[in-house]
């Protein structure tokens, strides 16, 4: 039996010049109207594998999920730099065993995520 512990530590702040410059560049290049549009929008649904529809006030907008996700995760990485958290296991496991364990029960590793299980053959 393996027990998974999620360790949450206090948020750490970094004063790295390169990180500060990247964060400032994001803020300087941000379009305020676009930020407000996303903040005040409602997700309508997917219109294709790559595009989504959102509603802002009385207008509908279609956008590339790939481009938005890329920018979102880049900004999250800058904001969360060094604060990824730690997962500790109660027993020592090989990488192969960890991967097999992960595929058997992903909810232990990501309790807040609803993950659809696909049939996967592991060899």
Q: What is the pLDDT of residue 5?
A: 57
Domain boundaries, the chain: 4-108
Pair 82, 14: CB distance under 8 Å: yes
Residue range 103-114, pLDDT digits in tens: 776 555 555 544
Q: What is the pLDDT of residue 77?
A: 87
Q: What is the pLDDT of residue 51?
A: 94
Q: What is the pLDDT of residue 2?
A: 59
50 phi, psi to nearest 5 deg: -115, -5
Q: What is the pLDDT of residue 118?
A: 40
Q: What is the pLDDT of residue 120?
A: 38
Pair 64, 54: CB distance under 8 Å: no
Residues of the chain with confidence (pLDDT) below 70: 1-9, 84-87, 105-123
Cα end-to-end span (Å), the chain:
22
| Distance set, CA 59 to CA 42, 44, 66, 98, 112 (Å) | 11, 11, 21, 47, 32
Q: What is the model's pTM?
A: 0.56
Q: What is the pLDDT of residue 54?
A: 93
């Amino acid at each position: 039996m393996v027990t998974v512990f999620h360790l949450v530590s206090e948020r750490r702040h970094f004063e790295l010049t390169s990180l500060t410059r990247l964060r400032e560049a994001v803020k300087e290049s941000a379009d305020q109207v676009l930020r407000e549009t996303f903040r005040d929008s409602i997700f309508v649904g997917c219109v294709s594998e790559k595009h989504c529809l959102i509603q802002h006030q009385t207008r509908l907008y279609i956008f590339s999920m790939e481009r938005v996700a890329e920018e979102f995760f880049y900004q999250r990485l800058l904001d969360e730099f060094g604060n990824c958290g730690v997962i500790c296991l109660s027993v020592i496991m090989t990488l192969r065993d960890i991967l097999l364990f992960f595929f058997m029960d992903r909810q232990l590793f990501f309790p807040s995520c609803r993950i659809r299980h696909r049939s996967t053959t592991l060899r």
